[in-house]
Amino acid sequence: MAEEKKLLNVTSNPHVRDKITTQDIMLLVILGLMPATIFGVYNFGFYALAVCVVTVVSAVFWEFLWDKLMHKPVSIFDGSAALTGLLLALNMPPRIELWVCVLGSFFAIIVVKMLFGGLGQNFMNPALGARCFLLISFAGRMANFAYESVSGATPLSALKNGQVVDNFAMVVGNEMGTIGETSVIAIVLGACFLMLFGIIDLRIPGTYILTFTIFWIIFGGHGADPYYLTAQLAGGGLMLGAFFMATDYVTSPITTPGKIIYGVILGILTGVFRVFSSGAEGVSYAIIISNLLVPLIERAAPLKCFGYVEPKKGGNA
Amino acid sequence: MKPNTPIERLFNGIVKENPTLVIILGMCPTLAVTTSAMNGIGMGLSTTAVLALANLFISLLRKIIPDEVRIPAFIVVIASFVTMVDMLMDAYTPDLYKQLGIYIPLIVVNCIIFGRAEAYASKNGPIESLFDGIGMGLGFTCSITVIGFIREFIGAGSVFGHQIGNLPDYMPSIFVMAPGAFMVLATLIVIRANIINHIEAKKGCRLPVEHTDEPGAQCSGCAFIGSCAGKFAKYEAEFKEGKKS
């Protein structure tokens, strides 16, 4: 045993070292989410800010508590817990009670992330896992959307019930929904910022949105009618999910073919949930189901070793 | 404790080789009917009755049953007791019977009953087998009642069917659905293993398994073989080093 402890675990070469650290990436993603957060606070009032602050602080607190109880080095300064908390907060309806936020961040951090080994080991996106946990547990509270003290259906469910929706408001974000998902403009602004820094690229969001569009045109029942198409693309959590949730490094494939397969699966699943299910929205379920498929996708599209040459066919290998 | 005495069998079934938390058998009723503590007790006690009687009769018949057709013979014995329990429950506890539904007839194919018939009753005398069945059944009853209690309390905010104020409003109802069963079961397995490991570590043996020096004699069937620090692991290390040199 003593002999084994001396061995270092080293992956195969090359060992490229980059200046950018986990902390930097998390900080940049949090900055990228700021336009959506600020717009959410502007849109829904200061209670939305309270929801964000409580969720972020409690997420960091749970991670700190777990590290202390398990006698592990405190890992809250890499910013991943704060990012998870912020993503979860952006997925909350604006009038949610604060204890639900604390419970949600407990599930995200302790159950989905730390029980499976902490950052890098979680099998699904912690924020979305917690959102689905809350959606199933508190269906009434999580569907209680209110905008300018009028509660009602989200644009997507209104559309599903055959009501008229305002496409322009959906793009700008002056409508009902969760705190961070309403404004397409703010989300795309943040995503462009991240793409500029090379944190995310278009492979996953691009194939995701493209596949969903094609799926909607074929199965949606309204063809390529731009009114329904823009409403579907701008409504619900599609944009937030595609740019900020599906691109999570831990729970998405590494290779380019893998990312494309992943995006296609995401698009098809979202389409299936939105078109054929009784609910109007399915982005969060689509993403966590695809997260579970990632190990299989990586087997289908494995990482090519540096310097690896395909063996010739028919050779005496 | 002397092996194969009634007390030892009861202790073995409830603590040492608890069918749900250690051998991980009978998962179907464990996950499906434990939405409340009452369901757990009902399911557990009916399984215990079948388990004890089936063990007793299979042990009595063990010299008559030919080895080649033992499985069909076991099924006949078990199925007759399950039919009796099924009819009795239908007659005397109709509410519980409705709650448990298909899971009562399904006791026939419960792994615990088959496992004990095959592994214990067909090799040991009737008295030990009877107590083995009771012990295993009570172990099963205890663990699924605890799972049911926890799920009912966290998921529905009630204790044995009595709601506590307006607590149900604030409880995550996911725990009375399927995912909750997995979460509670996994947590209990971890807690139980942790406690037993602590106790055994104090005694000197890390795991609740008796090790033999013979490789593969008892250890090969052991669930802890991967993490075992007992004699088998030591033997294996010696064996490997011997092979190298």
Residue A312 within any structural domain of the chain: no
Structural domain count, chain A: 1
* pTM for the full predicted model: 0.81
pLDDT in tens, B80-91: 999 999 999 999
Q: Which residues, including other chains, have CB under 8 Å from residue B83's CB and lie 6 or more apart?
A: none
Are the C-beta atoms of B143 and B43 separated by less than 8 Å?
A: no
Average pLDDT (B39-63) is: 92
Residue A134 C-alpha, separation from nearest chain B C-alpha, in angstroms? 7
The residue extents of the domains of chain B are 6-203, 215-245
Task: Point out the least confidently predicted range of A68-77, B150-159, B192-201.
Answer: B192-201
**A233 half-sphere exposure, CB direction, 13 A CA radius:** 23
Comparison of pLDDT for B109 and A57, the residue scoring more: A57
B53 pLDDT tier (thresholds 50, 70, 90): very high
Question: Is the per-residue pLDDT at B214 higher than 70?
Answer: no
The pLDDT, as a whole number, for residue B240 is 58
A-B Cβ pairs (cutoff 8 Å, strict): 17
Q: Does residue A269 carry a pLDDT above 70?
A: yes
pLDDT score for A2: 47
* Whether B237 contacts chain A with CB within 8 A: no
Mutation site for A-interface testing, chosen from B174, B175, B240 by largest number of A Cβ within 10 Å: B174
CATH number at residue A47: 1.10.3430
Determine the residue of chain A that is closest to B234 in CA distance. A1
Q: What is the pLDDT of residues A10-56, one digit of tens each?
A: 666 666 777 888 888 999 999 999 999 999 999 888 899 999 999 99
Q: Which residues of A278-293 are buried (b: 16+ CB within 10 A; e: fewer)?
A: eebbbbbbbbbbbbeb
Give B201 or B205, the one with higher predicted confidence: B201
Q: Is the pLDDT of residue B205 over 70?
A: no
pLDDT above 80 (res A311) = no
- SS3 of residue A316 by DSSP: coil
A7 belongs to a structural domain: no
* A112: closest chain B residue by CA: B183
The pLDDT tens digits of the residues spanning A200-252 come to 888 999 999 999 999 999 998 887 788 888 888 888 889 999 999 999 888 89
Chain B residues 162-181 with a CB less than 8 Å from chain A: 170-175, 177, 179
Q: Check whether A122 has a pLDDT greater than 80.
A: yes
Quick check: is A1 in a domain? no
Q: What is the mean pLDDT of chain A?
A: 86
Domain that holds residue A108: 22-300
B174 contacts A137? CB cut-off 8 A: yes
Is there a contact between B141 and B44 (Cβ–Cβ < 8 Å)? yes
pLDDT, average across residues A64-89: 91
The string of pLDDT tens digits covering residues B7-47 is 888 888 888 888 888 888 888 889 988 988 998 999 999 99
Mean pLDDT is lowest, of A7-21, A168-182, B209-223, for B209-223
Closest CA to B113 of B67, B65, B46, B61: B46
Mean pLDDT in residue range B228-232? 52
| pLDDT tens column, B113-156 | 988 888 888 888 899 999 999 999 999 999 999 999 999 999 98
Q: What is the DSSP letter of A216?
A: H
Q: Which of B170, B171, B174 sits opposite A136 (nearest CB)?
A: B174
Where do we find the tokens 């090519």? A304
pLDDT of res. A6: 59
Give me the pLDDT at residue B207, please.
47
Residue A309 is assigned to a structural domain of this protein? no
Structure tokens at A305: 């070793």
CB within 8 Å: B183 and A136: no
